[in-house]
Structure formats: C-alpha cells, structure tokens
Amino acid sequence: MKNHTIYQAPIDKLLTLGDCHKITNEYNYIAELGLDTEHIPGLISMAVDQNLNGADSASLEAWGKIHACRALGQLRAEAAIEPLMQLFHELEDSDWVNEEMPKVYGMFGEVAIPRLQAYLADESHGIFPRITAIHSLEEICKQHPETRQKCIAVLTQQLKLFAQNPHELNGFIVASLIELQAVESAAVIKSAFLAQSVPDEITGTWDDVCESLGINSDKIALFTDIKLDEVFQVENISTDDVTQVEDVSKTEEIVANQESQLQDISADDVTQRQKTPVSEETQLEDDITDEVAQVEDVSQTQETSVEKKQSDQITVEEVEKNSVITSEDIQLIEDVTTDVEQLHKVENKTEEQKQSSDINNREIEVNQLKSEVRNQKVNTSVKQQSNKGFGGFATSQGKAKTNKKKKR
C-alpha cells in the first residue's frame, strides 16, 4: 500500500477496490468515487505507473491500473487515448490488457478511431499489440453502432495490405469483420484467402466465412487482380474496377482457350499432311493416264494453295496479335466475339489446307509415276528404233526431262 501517498483522494481509492473481475465495467467510478475531468491527469499517471506493474498479484494495488483505465473510459478522456496505447506493447503479455483495453477504448468511442488506425498500421509494433488495436476498433463499433462504417473501413483498409501483413494479423482482422458482419468487405476477404494470407485456424476456411456472412462466394468479385506470386496493393478501388478486372480475367481465359484450339488444329493438320492413304496409291496407278493429262491443272491448284497458306498464316498472326489484352484498352465483349469469329475462319481455312495438302501429295506421286512412264516410253522407243536419225530425238527427250525437272 506504499503507493497510497502518491495519489490524492479520491484517486487513491482505486488502489483499494481489488479484483476487477468482482467489480465489473458496470461499476460507476464517477458516481461512486466522485471522479471528474479534473482528475484525468492523476488517473492517467496511475494507469501508466510502471511501479504498479511489479505489485504483488495478491495485493489490492495490483488491480489499480485497470480501475484507472476504466475510470478514464467512463470520463471519455480524450487526453488518455494515446498514453494508454503504450500499455498495448509494454504489457502485451498481460491478459488484462488484451481483455480490458478494448472495452476502455470502446467507451472512448469515435474519437479514438484515427489513433487506433495509426497504431494498427505501424509495423514497428508487434502482432499482439496490433491485435489489441483491432479488438478496440471492434469494441467501438459494438458500443457505438453509428461508428460501424468507419471501423469497418479502417479494418478493411488494413486487410487490403494482406500481402505484406503478418498472416496472423490478417486472420484477426477477418475474425473481427466476421464478428461485425461486414458483408461489404467480402471482396477483400476473398482476395486475402485466395492469396493464402489468412490462417484457417483463426477464422476457418473461406467457405466458413461465406456461411458466417451469409454470402455466395460465386457472386463475390476480387478487389483486385490477384497474382499469387506477385500481389500488389491497390488503394480505394471502386466496385466497377473490381467487376472490370474479373471480366478481363475471364476474357484472357477465353483467349487462352482459343489459342490452345489453334495449336491443336495446327498439330492435327501436320499429322494429316504426313499421312498418305494406301488406297490413294492404288487409285493413282489405275488412273495414271488421266492424272498425267491433269498435271498442269494440279500445278495451278498448288500455286493457289500456297497463296492460301500465306494468307492463312497472316490471318493466324493477326488473330494472335488481336488477342493480346492490355490493361489500358479492354474491349471485353467485342474482343471475345471477334476472336470467336476468327477461330471459325481459321477452322474453315484449316479444312481447306487439309484438302490442298491431299492434292499436293497426289501431285507429287503423279509426277513420280509420270516420270517412270516417260522413262519406260523412252527406253521402249530407243530399243525399237535404229540408231539412224534418232540421235536428235533421244537428245531432245533428255533435254525435255531436264527441263521438266527444273520446272518442278
């Protein structure tokens, strides 16, 4: 009881009240002890008195700091808001600080919100002191419902930094938002969960949160375009921005699918080009005379096919170029429609390429067979004729073959 001489009446009576569990917050310190605003400086001194930290836990004095804090809360002493915050970190291992200080700040009300916001945002403080600030904001909201929007805004703003916040801190922020039924914060909460920045053991899973808030996860957009390997901060994002980012993600997914389909079509086309049916070889042998007569027409078809291939390549390049989505130029519905139309065109042209490829393969085989027939004719002709007068004919046939080869 040595501290009695330090504090004047009626403040000194706080050192005699004893166990604060027996004297609850409903105890009217102002009426019972005659406390007033003039006693605020003395009450602050007792609340932060480090000498009382070492008081015997079995003594009445050990409870004096708690009673002083409660009295300051009932007086709504704005001057005590910042001094009492030092207890958050000086006595962070004390159960009474974690339990009592949020209730005290709840009594301070709205005037304490900006200071608590600054304390919560200060990364120099440890996890538990910042958690005490979170619980204090939650308690202000409960005791003063008119402050709900401001308290939720502070908690949500801090949660937007989930990528740099300690995960435990994110967990306690989400827990408080659930306690306050902050449905308006669902987009940020969902983003934090998708980034795996919220421990399940504190709040449960995202599905548990949806159940607690009574919301449908599928109807909740992300507050920003979350990349799990590179999360960045976005300040004051609007609802339209959220919807637009989600739509962009969907568009990019559609474009990716289209590109995959184009690659599959190209792969199938290559495979088809490598295949030459045996039945076509048989048919070529049977119809060799007719095919030789149509060689020139096939050559023209080949040139047309080459032009089509070049045109198709340009078209594919244009499709890939047009499918690039930038953050500055998003044309969601129009781009999707255009890409789908382009895909149909590519599919049609790919079918034409397949047919053209079949013709090319047939032309190659026709030319080979034609060459064999001509060789046979030349050999037969040479054997049947005498050497007289036919040297020029053989030479011209050789030149003709050479010219044909050059043309091919």
- At 211 the pLDDT is 96
Are 166 and 289 in the same domain?
no
Are 214 and 361 in the same domain?
no
Are 266 and 187 in the same domain?
no
Q: What pLDDT digit, counting tens, does each position of 327-352 carry?
A: 555 566 566 556 667 766 766 776 67
- At 373 the pLDDT is 56
Of residues 68 and 406, the one with the higher pLDDT is: 68
Are 232 and 273 in the same domain?
no
Domain endpoint, select from 237, 259, 293: 237
Are the beta carbons of 192 and 198 closer than 8 angstroms? Answer: yes
Are 194 and 300 in the same domain?
no
Domain endpoint, select from 171, 204, 237: 237
Domain harbouring 195, CATH code = 1.25.10
User: Stretch 139-158: mean pLDDT, rounded?
Assistant: 97
Q: Single out the residue of 354, 166, 346 nearest to residue 258, CA to CA.
A: 346
User: Stretch 144-163: mean pLDDT, rounded?
Assistant: 97
- At 228 the pLDDT is 39
Are 223 and 288 in the same domain?
no
**Per-residue pLDDT band at 152 (split at 50, 70, 90):** very high
Domain endpoint, select from 208, 237, 266: 237
> Which of 74-83, 156-165, 237-246, 256-265 shows the lowest per-residue confidence on average (mean pLDDT)?
237-246
Mean pLDDT (the chain, rounded): 74
- At 118 the pLDDT is 97
**Per-residue pLDDT band at 55 (split at 50, 70, 90):** confident
Are 253 and 207 in the same domain?
no
Of residues 305 and 196, the one with the higher pLDDT is: 196
User: Stretch 105-117: mean pLDDT, rounded?
Assistant: 97
Are 96 and 212 in the same domain?
yes
- At 239 the pLDDT is 38
Work out how many domains the chain is built from and give that number: 2
Are 392 and 378 in the same domain?
yes
Are 232 and 249 in the same domain?
no
Are 196 and 283 in the same domain?
no
> Which of 178-182, 191-195, 316-320 shows the lowest per-residue confidence on average (mean pLDDT)?
316-320
Can you give the residue range of the structural domain that contains 374?
242-407
Rg of the chain taking only CA atoms, in angstroms: 43
**Per-residue pLDDT band at 122 (split at 50, 70, 90):** very high
Are 233 and 298 in the same domain?
no
Judged against a pLDDT cut of 90, whether residue 101 lies above it is answered with yes
> Which of 74-78, 292-296, 358-362 shows the lowest per-residue confidence on average (mean pLDDT)?
292-296
